[in-house]
Structures are given as C-alpha cells and as structure tokens.
Amino acid sequence: MKKVLITGANSYIGMSFEKYAADHYSQELSVDTIDMIDGSWRQKDFSSYDIVYHVAGIAHADVGKVSEEVKSKYYAINTDLAIETCKKAKSDGVKQFVFMSSAIVYGDSAPYGKSKRIIKDTEPNPANFYGDSKWQADKGVRELASDDFCVTVLRPPMIYGKGSKGNYPTLAKMAKKLLVFPDVENERSMLYIENLCEFLCQIMIRGEGGIFWPQNAEYTKTSDMVKHIAEVSNHKIHVSKGWNWVVKLAAFIPGKPKNMANKAFGNLVFDFDISTYSFDYQLFSFKESIKRTEG
C-alpha cells in the first residue's frame, strides 16, 4: 500500500483522482488531501507519504489585458508554490513527486487551417505568462529529481469529464442548443478524466519518473464532439460543411471572431508514439467518454 498526499484541496482533477483510486485501487493506494491556501501545510510532516501529487494551481487564464499584479500571482502559485512543495517533499523523504504540467507549455494551438504536432523532442515555447508559469514549474521540479527522489511530470492536453471546467462545458452547452454546426476538419488531443486517473494510478504504483504525455487513444474533431454530445442529450443538430464559410470568415476578422474560430477549430495533437507506455490507461473511447460525461 502506497500513501498519496494530494496538495491542493477541492480541485477537479484531485477530487476525481481520489474517488477513482478509492473505487479501483483501494488495496494499492491510500489517498489524503491537504489545502494549500493558508500556508499551514508548511508545518505538516510529509514523511509518512510515499507520493506527493501536486495539483494546486491557477488555470484557464484570461491572457488579454492583465495587470502585472495578476501575472505575479500566477507565478507565485503555479511556479513558486510547486517548486517549494517539491523541495519539502524531497526534504521530508517522500519517494515520488507527481506534477501536473500542461500542453500549454508548447504554446497556443495552431490557428484554423494550420496544424501542430508535438513529438518527444518538441521544445516548449509558452505563448503567454500562464504557459510560462507552468513551464518554469515544469523545469524547476525536474531539477530536484535524484536517485532517491522520483519526479514525474505530466503534460496533458485538454482534460474533460463530468463536472469539468474550461472549454468543454462551453462546447457542450452549444451542442445542446444550436440547430446547425460547421463540419470543419481539425484535430485535437484530449484526455478524458477517467483515462487520466487510470494513468495516474499506474504511474504511482510503478513509481515511474520522467515526462509523460497521456492522451485519449484517438484524436478529437470539434464537430464530432458536438455531434456526439447532442446525440447523448437527445438534441437534433445538423453538422454540415455548408456552414464552414462562417468559420473561415470569422478566422479573418481580427479580435474576438478570430480568437473564437481558432479556439474552437484550431489544431494541436501529441504524436501517439509519445503517449504509448508499458501499461494500458486509455480505458474509455471517445464516444464512451462522452456518454459517461453527459450521462
């Protein structure tokens, strides 16, 4: 039995992992959670834990007009707190530190009509302060790895599932209300929450370190996702290439229209070679994940 401490209470990923581990790996993993907000965690002894899983952070940044004070807060929480926690875990004798980095370290997705594929040797190149705050932490925690302190860094793509935040709920809301939707050919790497949780359990049980790029077993096309969400929700929506001109037009209009077109129909995928490991974690197909998310 390995003892896991999640640093960061009430996070979507942390709570999902805790429940998944209890339901599927209760004989292998025991999970506790600690809040990082008031600083009292610094007095807690981590030595009774085998693994510290760090999920505390600020996500879904509005990177438009942001003050320097707000930017500093992102670095304080996403970078400094992560590295400080990792140092404490190491000094307290914890064997493994698992850090949630992000695909955002590679910059924005390619805009509408362009492609972007991440391979093992792709150099991170953050496009904004949010991505850079994750990248600085990504580098910082890996520098602390040693023969007796394993550091595991995950750089997942967009994570979704029941109760998730971010882009998925917005897209799901559209899928349940719109009558028509463009059929644009695009590809996105995504990661269903239960596939992520299975990956985490496997990587912790094995005690493997390094950089990992977990993703679903298939790429996602935005129009297919909308169509499947609508089907599961018993809503009729007509997905047609006849509406693609709307996206094409929006992509040429500076400001919000262009940003929305790129956000919804941009491209960003991990090569499948870097997401294949010695264990199976892609338990649910894309269609199954939508049913479980919307069911």
Domain ranges for the chain = 2-165+190-216+268-284
State residue 64's pLDDT score: 66
State residue 93's pLDDT score: 97
Q: Classify 234 as helix, strand or coil.
A: coil
**Which residue spans within the chain are E strands per DSSP?**
2-7, 29-34, 51-54, 96-100, 117-118, 150-154, 158-160, 180-182, 190-192, 210-212, 238-240, 269-270
State residue 167's pLDDT score: 86
State residue 295's pLDDT score: 84
The upper half-sphere exposure of residue 261, i.e. CA atoms within 13 Å in the direction of its Cβ, equals 23
State residue 60's pLDDT score: 66
Q: What is the pLDDT along the chain (295 residues), one digit of tens a residue?
A: 999 999 998 899 999 999 999 999 999 999 999 999 888 999 999 999 999 999 998 876 666 677 888 889 999 999 999 999 999 999 999 999 999 999 999 999 998 889 999 999 999 999 899 999 999 999 999 999 999 999 999 999 999 999 998 889 999 999 999 999 999 999 999 999 999 999 999 999 999 999 999 999 999 999 999 999 999 999 999 999 998 988 899 888 888 888 888 888 999 999 999 999 999 999 999 999 999 999 8
Q: What pTM does this model have?
A: 0.94
The answer to whether residues 155 and 248 touch, using CB atoms and an 8 Å cutoff, is no
**CB atoms closer than 10 angstroms to residue 220:** 24
DSSP letter string over 83-113? HHHHHHHHHTT-SEEEEE--GGGG-SPBPTT
Q: Which of 293, 8, 295, 289 lies closest to 163 in space, CA to CA?
A: 293
State which CATH number among 3.40.50.720, 3.30.390.30, 3.20.20.100, 3.90.950.20 fits the domain covering 2-165+190-216+268-284.
3.40.50.720
Q: Which residues contact 127 (CB under 8 A, 6 or more apart)?
A: 63, 107, 108
Is residue 15 exposed (0-12), middle (13-18) or buried (19+ Cβ within 10 Å)?
middle
Q: Which of 66, 120, 51, 95 lies closest to 276 in space, CA to CA?
A: 120
Side chain identity at residue 101, one-letter code: S
